[in-house]
Structure 1
C-alpha cells in the first residue's frame, strides 16, 4: 500500500467516525454525499451523475461537510474522547488477561470493561 493510499484510508476512516458522532449536524444533502463518497466509495463524478449536478458542486458539498465535521470535533472532541476511552478499556482488558491466576480480580476487571461498553459509554 502506498503512502497516498494509506493517507486516503486514514482520512476515510476518520471522516466515517466523525460522521458517526456528528451526522445530525449536517444538512441532508451533506449527509447523503458523504455517505456516497466515504462510505460507499462513489467517485465525485458518479455522485454528480446520480444527482444531475456538476462534479464541482459535489466536491464543494463534500468539502463543506468535512469542514463542519472537523469544526465540531475541534469544539466537542467526542471522537478524541471515544478513542481515549477505548485505549483505556483495551489496557483494562490486557491487565485482566494477565491476571489469569487471580480469577476473581480478572473477572471483575472484565465485567467493568464489559459494563462500560454495554452502557454505551464507549463503543467497541
Structure 2
C-alpha cells in the first residue's frame, strides 16, 4: 500500500515537472515521456508505436525524469508554485473564518481566485 502511495506521489511530481519544463525537452522526448506519464501507456506499447526497443523507451524516460528534476533543482519553479498556492489557500481559509466581518473579503476573494487560475 505504501509503495502505491509513493508511486502516486512520484507520478504527480513528475506531471508537475513535465507541465513546467516539458517544453525544454526535444519533440521526441516530449512525445515518449508524455505517452508514458499522461497517457499511461506501457513501455512495450510506446516501443511498438515509436519503433524503438522497450529498453530504449525505459532509458529515455529515465533520462527525461532526471533532466526535469535537474531543471527544478536549478530553477525551483514548481517549489515556488506550490508555496504560492499554499499561501493563497491559507488566505482563503482565513477569509472563510472571518466570513462577512470584513467588507474587503468580498473584494479579495475574486483576486485570489484569479491568482489560482493564473498559477
TM-score range (shorter-chain normalised) is: over 0.9
Scaled by the length of structure 2, the TM-score of the pair is 0.92
Scaled by the length of structure 1, the TM-score of the pair is 0.89
Instruction: Name the counterpart of 1:38.
Output: 37
The Cα offsets for residues 14-59 of structure 1, whole Å up to 9 and x where unpaired, read as 1111111101110111111111111111111111111121100001
Instruction: Name the counterpart of 2:2.
Output: 3
SS of equivalent residue, structure 1 residue 42: coil
Unaligned runs of 5+ in 1: none
In 2: Cα distance, 1:99 partner to 1:106 partner: 8
Instruction: Name the counterpart of 2:74.
Output: 75
Residue correspondences, number? 119
Unaligned runs of 5+ in 2: none
In 1: Cα distance, 2:100 partner to 2:20 partner: 39
